[in-house]
Chain A
Amino acid sequence: MNMTAFLTIPSIAVLLDFIRGPLVWLSFIIFGLGLIVQTFRLLNLTQKKETRRLAPGKEFVPQATLSKRECFFRRLAFLKITIIGQNACMVMFSFLFHVCLVITPIFLLGHNVLLDTSFGFSFISFSEKTSDTLTLIVLMSGLVFLLRRLLLPRVRILTTVYDFILLFVAIAPFLTGYLAHHHIFNYNIMIILHILSGELMLVMIPFSKFFHMVFFFISRFMIISEHSMGAPKRSWQF
């Protein structure tokens, strides 16, 4: 029996309808509620803290200001001691990976057509070629992370099976989506795997290491620390 015939068996067709319908809703609800609950749980670990800022005294006389050129070079010199200077390649791939991971599914034409037919609204869409490129960037960055995990001693020493599972879960929707779009292998199977892997990822985000998508912003923008950004006013209360 070939795959297409297999998928038209009534009981299988019911299962597929379930995956395409209620399961999508369920995973979005778990994703949304999970994200809200987990974010509040994380915020509960923080408390408001009085911030003291040092202001220069009246006798302070500002030094001669630097020229724009000097400023630029000083900033460049500072970058060298940050992770951007130390691990430029990894930071670049990591940045591209995360940006493409978030924007590609939102502005994908196919997803927006589905949104439009279901709810009558849609976001603006990238052209198919752009989406293809962004997907390939995600896949390529994923490959870089995988090779890094396998080959670099410093990453290998930390790596557990869970890290590979997470990487796989993050990459799977993009890989299956790409294969389905280009009709590589069986389209029906690929699109079902695409939906399932997307749902799995959505459900896992609030309850796994993927939650760093919220933790990052809370810990770097809301918590007072040497490396915090913005003007945070809270601290951890463990």
Chain B
Amino acid sequence: MGKTPEINTDSIKSILKQNRKQIKLGLAMCAHCSLCAESCFLFVSKDNDPEYMPSYKFINSIGRLYKKKGKVSKQALEEMRDLVFEKCVLCTRCYCPFGIDIPSLITLGRSVCRTHGLFREYDR
């Protein structure tokens, strides 16, 4: 999967740059303990599907973009859309024992998706 011309890396980079400290701190401090899992009602209602874990959602959306410096394929961005729009309703009830603000990190993932016209698809 190479970089496709549809992806505007600069717009992603500007979001990443503006929020660099927050993303960096969130990624650096997450101990991958998975204790946030049960705080997500979707995780519980979807038979404990690990993809619904709050930490998984932020690490694989904005975290992945940060690690790849915004250089992702359209397909990868669509997968992130599924994570941040379809698998999260942003109810802000997720709880991190360390106090990482997961909802705001997921919001950043949503902002990046929006810049590329990727939203929640209500007619799916």
Show the binding face of A for B, using Cβ within 8 Å: 42, 45, 83, 86-87, 90-91, 94, 152-160, 163, 209, 211-212, 215-216, 219-220, 223, 225, 227-228, 236, 238
How many A-B pairs have beta carbons closer than 8 Å: the answer is 72
In this assembly, does B53 line the interface, its C-beta being within 8 Å of a C-beta of chain A? yes
Main secondary structure of the interface of A (DSSP, over half): helix
Given known contacts A157-B50, A158-B56, A223 and B99 CB-to-CB distance under 8 angstroms: yes
> Which residue on chain B has the smallest CB distance to residue A44?
B21
From A154, A163, A220, contact of B98 by CB (8 A): A220
In this assembly, does B55 line the interface, its C-beta being within 8 Å of a C-beta of chain A? yes
Q: What does the 1/0 interface line of B68-105 toward A look like (CB < 8 Å)?
A: 00000000000000000000000000010111110000
The residues of A that contact B62 with a CB separation of less than 8 Å are none
Docked Cα-Cα span, A152 to B92, in Å, equals 25
In this assembly, does B37 line the interface, its C-beta being within 8 Å of a C-beta of chain A? yes
Contact across chains for B29 and A158 when beta carbons are under 8 A apart:
no
Docked Cα-Cα span, A79 to B31, in Å, equals 23
In this assembly, does B25 line the interface, its C-beta being within 8 Å of a C-beta of chain A? yes
The number of chain B residues with a CB under 8 A from chain A is 28
Q: Known pairs A157-B56, A219-B100, A227-B99. 12 more at Cβ < 8 A?
A: A83-B39, A87-B38, A152-B34, A154-B50, A155-B34, A158-B53, A160-B32, A209-B29, A215-B98, A220-B98, A223-B99, A227-B95
Show the binding face of B for A, using Cβ within 8 Å: 19, 21-22, 25, 28-35, 37-39, 48, 50-51, 53, 55-56, 59, 95, 97-101
From A42, A211, A219, contact of B99 by CB (8 A): A219
CB distance from B100 to the nearest CB of A (A): 7
Contact across chains for A83 and B97 when beta carbons are under 8 A apart:
yes
Contact across chains for B22 and A238 when beta carbons are under 8 A apart:
yes
Most buried by B among A42, A209, A238: A238
Contact across chains for A219 and B98 when beta carbons are under 8 A apart:
yes
From A45, A87, A152, A227, contact of B21 by CB (8 A): A45
The residues of B that contact A216 with a CB separation of less than 8 Å are 97-99
The residues of A that contact B25 with a CB separation of less than 8 Å are 42, 45, 215
Contact across chains for A86 and B99 when beta carbons are under 8 A apart:
no
The residues of A that contact B98 with a CB separation of less than 8 Å are 212, 215-216, 219-220
Contact across chains for A163 and B100 when beta carbons are under 8 A apart:
no
The residues of B that contact A209 with a CB separation of less than 8 Å are 28-31
> Which residue on chain B has the smallest CB distance to residue A228?
B99
Contact across chains for A158 and B22 when beta carbons are under 8 A apart:
no
Contact across chains for A211 and B28 when beta carbons are under 8 A apart:
yes
Listed by A's residue number, 22 A-B pairs whose Cβ atoms lie within 8 Å are: A45-B25, A86-B38, A87-B35, A87-B38, A91-B35, A94-B33, A154-B50, A155-B32, A155-B33, A155-B34, A157-B50, A157-B56, A158-B55, A159-B32, A209-B29, A209-B31, A211-B29, A216-B98, A219-B29, A219-B98, A225-B99, A236-B22
**3 closest cross-chain pairs (CB), A and B:** A219-B99, A238-B22, A158-B32
Docked Cα-Cα span, A91 to B34, in Å, equals 12
The residues of A that contact B21 with a CB separation of less than 8 Å are 45, 238
From B28, B32, B95, contact of A83 by CB (8 A): B95
